[in-house]
A and B are shown apart, each in its own frame.
Chain A
Amino acid sequence: MIAIPTRFARTALLVSILAGLSATAHAHGDIDQVEDLQAHISDYEAEVSSMSETVDGIVADYESGDAVADRVDALVETWEEVEYHEAVETHAMALYPPIWIALGGLREAVEEQDAKAQVVQWQQRLDQALHQGIGALKLAAVQQKNGMNASAATHQNAADEDDDRPTITIIQDNLQTVLHHYEDGDAEAAETLLHQTYMQRFEGIEGDLIERDADLVTDLEKDFNATLPLLMEKEASANELSAEIEKMNSKLDRAQTLLDEAAQDQSSVF
């Protein structure tokens, strides 16, 4: 059985892969549903609200000792049938696997009669993933409403892709922004940026670091994918989150030193 933080890390990693898959799916034009997101946001919210209430009931009855496996299976069927499912699959693919993983985790925990606390943890993950999906769809709806054509999309993308700062600096700055989002009560934005930073920045520099301190790499991977997300999930105080980010910053400072050393040892191309 995988420990909870590891499962959480798996979710984050899967998200990175499926972000790519999403691009491919759209590229081929295989998925062309849900043309007017804005008109359906309230429907999606209602569906998510209904599923959340269903899970509340399931978990409450599980805590009372009732058999609930069939109801979890029915919940999975509901998820497969709602419009929200199609919208997430089409417009917010990065949030698609965490929902499935949370549903799978909930089902497995119930079937294996895990402790109530574990079932509740999966409930929280599911609830979080469902609501993150709503957040992503709202953003997608705004973009859809603005009628972003290729030129506009290109321009918007350019704003955040070419960044001359050292990668470690970008990561540390992003972590500060994660903290600001969290302090402002926007945990969704905080977690999304944290995941993006791991996937798009940290994974790109881990190669040289592995040679010099593999334990540091696995430690930081745990911070990105388990420690910080779990703090946010359990609604820890901003001070607690800030303290963990400070610890990460120290590790990242060491990573920068190691990367500087690696750069000195690096051979030239020609």
Chain B
Amino acid sequence: MIDRRTLLKSAAALGLLGPARVLVAADAGPQAESADDLPPLVGELSVYLGRGEGGLYDDIVTAIRKRNPELELNIRRAPSAALANTLIAEAKAGVRRADLFWSIDASSLGAVAAEGVSQPIPDSIQRQIKPDFRYKEWAAISGRLRTLPYNPTRLNADRIPDDVMAFADTDLKIGWAPAYGAFQSFITAMRLLEGEQRTKQWLLGVKKQAKSFAGELGVVMAVARGEVDLGFANHYYTLRLKQGKPDANVKLALTNDDAGSLVNSSGVLLLDNKPLARNFLRYLLSQEVQSYLAREAYEIPMAPGVALPEGLPNAIHPPSLDLTQLSDLKPTLDLLRETRVL
């Protein structure tokens, strides 16, 4: 049985982990490049683009096209997992149609990278990514944060543990969405960080006080209605609900350096050595695109110096974890079934 200490030791040996991570509202250090400083994009480029946040990714592509009239951009859109499968099949057949793969989840990137068909991210581009989110094989673009939406009329913030594992020992009424992908990634992260036995005990403990919902928007709305004290949900549901209903009875709390504050990320895989592909990636990491993702999609920018979405706490302490490991879902599903959470 692998426990957190063993895992962290192994991960450190592999160079996957840096020091404890901190995401802050505005960095004093290096700043993201401005698109004004980037070279014009000229030539033909094929991008496989996983369906993501509404049409916002399309809007970004359209804006880049408009700004670079000599760019001949071929976009192929489909679910990220389907594109990953296609890329792998193409590679096995000796075919390469894409220059770049932009996926909404790290696990699809990991699956393709594991086939050895991608190029390492150059150091010059790594420097355009926050240090704690630099990976050799892929470039993190924007993140989604696990949070604790709570109802301030039912619960004082000082009653909320900052250790996610402590929730099994509280008497709080909790909302969760066990069938939701983000929740399962959260439990996968817990399993990887804390070990299977502790995760199982946590599931059994929280289950006693939990109410299940089909999705995490449902969790957040139940919190706002006062049906539960607190829930587990990705950050953007609360931020979007508050944007539409500023007086909704829901606030966000975070845990500290554990699965409860996991940041999962979208990202890019470079599939060839074309300078054009690398420069396209630089556009995605530019100040303008990163700000747009934070402003319109409430995603967490991965370029340094770009403000976090409005409404998030000023400092976030996510755990260190190789995000591609989150694709290891089956043991998580086994645990959820074993504990009758699913």
Contact = CB atoms under 8 A, between A and B. Distances in A.
B236 A267 contact: no
B93 A150 contact: yes
Interface in A64-104: 97, 100-101, 104
A240 to B, nearest CB: 23
What class of interface size applies to chain B in its complex with A?
Answer: 35 or more
Contacts, number: 168
A158 B337 CA distance: 36
Given A17-B180, A20-B107, A149-B89, 15 more contacts: A18-B329, A21-B81, A21-B330, A23-B111, A25-B330, A149-B93, A150-B95, A151-B90, A151-B95, A161-B78, A204-B51, A206-B217, A210-B241, A268-B63, A269-B63
Interface in A2-48: 2, 6, 9-11, 13-14, 16-28
Given A28-B111, A150-B89, A208-B54, A270 B63 contact: yes
Nearest to B114: A28
A26 B35 CA distance: 38
A207 interface: yes
10 contacts: A10-B179, A27-B84, A27-B114, A27-B115, A104-B340, A151-B95, A157-B82, A204-B51, A204-B55, A211-B243
Interface string B141-181: 00000000000000000000000000000000000011111
Interface stretch (A173-181, A183-191, A214-222, A245-253): A214-222
Interface of A: 2, 6, 9-11, 13-14, 16-28, 97, 100-101, 104, 108, 149-151, 153-154, 157-158, 161-162, 167, 200, 204-208, 210-214, 217-218, 221-222, 225, 266-270
Nearest to B298: A207
- State the main secondary structure of chain B at its contact with A: helix
B332 to A, nearest CB: 10
Nearest to A211: B244
B141 to A, nearest CB: 14
Given A23-B111, A150-B92, A161-B77, A17 B184 contact: yes
